[in-house]
Amino acid sequence: MCKRRFGLIGAALGAVLLLASSCGKSASQGGDSRLQATTSIDADGTLTLPSMPDSIKDPTGRADYLAAHFWDSLDFADTAHSLDTAFMEQNFANYSTVLSLTSEPGRDKAVRALLDRARAASAASYELMAAIAEKYLYEPDSPMFDEEAYLPFAAYAVGLGDEMSAAAEGRRDDILKNRPGTPAPDFVFMTADAKRRRLSESDPLTNTLLIFYEPDCDKCHEAMTLLAGSQMLQGAVAQGTLRVVAVYPGDNRKVWAEHAATLPSNWIVGIDPTGSIDNDELYLIRATPTFYLIGADGKIILKDASLQRLAYTLGL
User: What tens digit of pLDDT does each residue of 252-264 get?
Assistant: 999 999 999 999 9
Same domain, 137 and 54: yes
Query: Angle at the Cα of 272 (from 171 to 184), degrees rounded to 5?
Result: 50
What pLDDT was estimated at residue 209?
97
Split at pLDDT 50, 70, 90, the class of 121 is: very high
Nearest to 109 by CA among 76, 145, 71, 67: 67
24 and 84 together in one domain: yes
C-beta separation of 178 from 221 below 8 A: no
Tally of domains in the chain: 2
In terms of domains, do 214 and 238 share one?
yes
Does 27 have pLDDT greater than 60? no
Same domain, 125 and 167: yes
CATH of the domain at 271: 3.40.30.10
Q: 148-181 pLDDT, tens per residue? A: 999 999 999 999 988 888 889 999 999 999 999 9
Task: Give residue-wise pLDDT tens across range 200-238.
Answer: 987 778 999 999 999 999 999 999 999 999 999 999 999
* Same structural domain, 305 and 200: yes
pLDDT at residue 21 greater than cutoff 60: no
Question: Chain-wide mean pLDDT for the chain?
Answer: 87
Residue 23 has pLDDT above 80, yes or no: no
The answer on 250 and 146 residing in a single domain is: no
Nearest-angstrom CA–CA distance, 91 and 105: 22
Task: Assess if residue 3 is contained within a domain.
Answer: no
Residues 96 and 202 in one domain: no
Name the residue range of residue 250's domain.
188-314
Kindly state whether residue 280 falls inside one of the protein's structural domains: yes
- Residue 2 has a pLDDT of 56
4: in domain: no
Find residue 248's DSSP bridge partners. 271
pLDDT confidence of residue 36: 47
Where does a domain end: 176, 209, 233? 176
Asked if residue 302 has pLDDT above 50, the reply is yes
Name the helix (H) or strand (E) containing 117: helix 104-121
Q: Are residues 170 and 197 in the same domain?
A: no
So what's the pLDDT on residue 76? 96
Query: Quick one: 291 and 166 in the same domain?
Result: no
| CA-closest candidate to residue 213, choices 148, 158, 267, 156 | 267
